[in-house]
Amino acid sequence: MPSADPILPPSSALQRILDSQVSDSSEPVHPPYLLHLAAVVLHNLQYQHDWTSLTIHTHSTLTNLALPRPVVSGLPPKRAYIHPDEQVEILKAEHDTGESIVQLPELEWVLPTHLEEKWSLAQFSSIFDALETVPSGEEVEKMDETAVGARWQGKNRQKRILLATLHDDSTVVYYIMHDGIVKPRQN
């Protein structure tokens, strides 16, 4: 009786991301569970929140040394954060011109974590210290330095990370974290 090769079902989108991250590195820098956590967050950003230009980083963009853990960068469909002073400047400009000012999205860093992890300020600081203010990409080069609010955008902005916290039920919650003190928003 001839033996037939089993027909495997096509890989899911998440499995393709996992496979590409594990096979791309000949010498893994991080344990597989951290790469898988980053891949799950990347998948969530891409398929649930419509982010584009997504990448998992394992090395510092400043020193090229291994990051304490993998970090994701990507472009959200709309701005993730607007500085309070920028918001005031935009409102004044809209009032003066009578036209709405469109805020283009910016590349963001995303730090994948699990709900059960315990983080210290030193651990967060090590991540912030290893990353540039804004992830590299052609979107950064296209930025108009004369646009309303440009003082708080791109390389001019304060360093921030979206903290992506994964729960056991696959829910991902995102929090904005800044490096240092940030002026509070006015309601």
Q: Which pLDDT band holds residue 56 (cuts at 50, 70, 90)?
A: very high
Asked whether residue 21 carries a pLDDT value surpassing 90, the answer given is: no
Of 171 and 9, the structure prediction assigns the larger pLDDT to 171
Cα distances (angstroms) measured from residue 81 to each of 25, 65, 162 = 33, 29, 10
Contact between 51 and 43 (Cβ < 8 Å): no
Mean pLDDT check: name the lowest of 32-36, 132-136, 168-172.
132-136
How far from each other are the two terminal CA atoms of the chain, in whole angstroms?
76
Asked whether residue 182 carries a pLDDT value surpassing 80, the answer given is: no
Residue 29: per-residue pLDDT: 82
Q: What angle do CA 124, 136, 108 make, to 5 degrees?
A: 50
DSSP β-bridge partners for residue 57: 71
Domains of the chain in start order, with CATH, are 35-173 (3.40.1350)
Asked whether residue 85 carries a pLDDT value surpassing 80, the answer given is: no
For tokens 């030193």, what's the residue? 122
pLDDT tens digits along 99-123 = 887 777 889 999 999 999 999 999 9
pLDDT tens digits along 130-144 = 998 888 765 545 555
Of 42 and 5, the structure prediction assigns the larger pLDDT to 42
Asked whether residue 23 carries a pLDDT value surpassing 50, the answer given is: no
